[in-house]
Chains A and B, each alone.
Chain A
Amino acid sequence: MNKKLEGVDSQKNFKKGDCAIERQIGPINLQNNVRYAGASGDFNPIHFDHDMARSLGFPGVFVMGMLPGAILGEFAKDWLSPLIIKYLKFRFTDKIWPQEMLTLGGEIVKDHSSSTPLVEADLWMKTSDGLIKIMASCTAFYPDSIDKKYP
Chain B
Amino acid sequence: MTGSLQSLLMKAKPFLGHELASFPWRVEEGQITQFRNSLLVDGADFISKREIPLTYSMSMNLWGIPHLQLLKNIGLDTNYLVHGEQSFELIKPLLVGHSYIISQILSDLLLKRSSKFGHMLLLTIQSVISDSQGTIVIRQNHTSIQLGKNE
Name A's B-contacting residues (CB within 8 A).
23-29, 32, 35-36, 38-42, 44-46, 52, 56-57, 64-67, 69-71, 73-75, 77-79, 85-92, 94, 151
Contact = CB atoms under 8 A, between A and B. Distances in A.
B133 interface: no
Contacts of B44: 23, 25, 71, 74-75
A35 B62 CA distance: 15
B23 interface: no
Interface residues of B, number: 39
Interface in B26-65: 31, 34-35, 37-39, 41-44, 46-48, 51, 53-56, 58-59, 62-63
Chain A at the B interface: mostly helix, strand, loop or mixed? Answer: mixed
Contact of B84 (A24, A27, A64, A92): A92
9 A-B pairs with the lowest CB-CB distances in the bound complex, closest first: A41-B62, A25-B43, A65-B83, A78-B46, A35-B38, A41-B63, A40-B59, A89-B87, A39-B38
Interface string B58-92: 11001100000000000000111111111111110
Interface in B96-134: 116
B38 A36 contact: yes
A91 B85 contact: yes
A77 B46 CA distance: 9
Contacts of B48: 74, 77-78
